[in-house]
Amino acid sequence: MGFSSVNLIASSKRSAFNRISIHLTMTTNSIKRFNITKITDATVADASDALAIEEPLEIRLEYGTEDERQVKTVSVTMRTPGNDAELALGFLFTEGIITADPIKSIDYCFIACAENKENVIMVKLNEGAVPNLNNSERNFYTTSSCGVCGKGSISAIRTVSSFVNKKGVQHTIDAEVLYRLPDILRYYQDAFASTGGIHASGLFNLAGELLLLREDVGRHNALDKLIGAAITKEMLPLNNHILLLSGRASFELVQKAAMAGINMIAAVGAPSSLAVELAEEFNITLAGFLRNRRFNIYTAAHRILLPTNENTY
């Protein structure tokens, strides 16, 4: 079993989500091997290569009164199989479709054309719970590289979070804590170590201890899985935590982090311009290019305690 399906530090809290009826017998294999021809300079050789599995997951939502239940397909996303309940839960929450307490059950749906693959999941809401589907028009294919595909407009993505950080809340961390995070994340990335082609989201406490890690071929899926896991452990809001992204920081990832109350985001790669603007709007500390004991701070620098007497400007 890969690390992406386990937690480093378990929460002792019990929430309504811990009582969700989840009937999943998921396959946890996220890697498939292929025979390849490997070229090195003038050398040609047969070899075997491990690749991250990518398969579709259709997320369906059942809601309504006991006598009038409705089923709606909310999204079809390309993902790495595993932690599908967390992915569905995290997606519905970070898109503002559900709040943090109306889930009755999560289960796979069998369809004849799926070749026994677990690629359709049903999230059932409690009787009377009403999902907010107004800003979600993602009723068709969403690629694993771009979680915004299928949205009606940019305004639909600007979901209002009930956990947006207020300027009065102050948490600080030492730069030395940030320096350690990428090595810790990489150490525990089982699927990445095997394939070199999978994204990860890691949740750390302010002391730099890894609490949760989720991996997926899609960067937004990895974060949805992470936030879904945090919801089941009643950890929200995550305003006392650090989110580390294994790649770049996009607008959608910052938006999802804001929905969970995260106010410190570090990325190994670069942020986009819109990600920086959104982080500034939500008063989120955003650091990019975190590697080799270096990083850039783009917004809310007051939360990071910087080395003294090393400003070269």
Alpha helices in the chain (DSSP H): 84-94, 154-157, 175-187, 190-195, 219-232, 251-259, 273-281
SS3 226: helix
Rounded to whole angstroms, the Cα distance separating 63 from 172 reads 42
Q: Which helix (H) or strand (E) holds 292?
A: none
161 φ/ψ angles, rounded to the nearest 5 degrees: -95, 140
Active site residue 149: no
Query: Longest C-alpha distance within the chain, in Å?
Result: 70
Rounded to whole angstroms, the Cα distance separating 180 from 201 reads 15
As given in the structure block, the two tokens for residue 187 are: 């150490």
β-strand pairing of 103-108 with 120-125: antiparallel
Nearest to 241, CA basis, from 179, 289, 285, 200: 285
Tell me how far the alpha carbon of residue 232 is from its chain's centroid: 14
Rounded to whole angstroms, the Cα distance separating 14 from 191 reads 29
Active-site residue among 109, 113, 146, 149? 146
Place of tokens 């982090």: 257
Give the burial class of 178: count Cβ atoms within 10 A of its Cβ; 0-12 exposed, 13-18 middle, 19 or more buried.
buried
Catalytic positions, written as ranges: 146
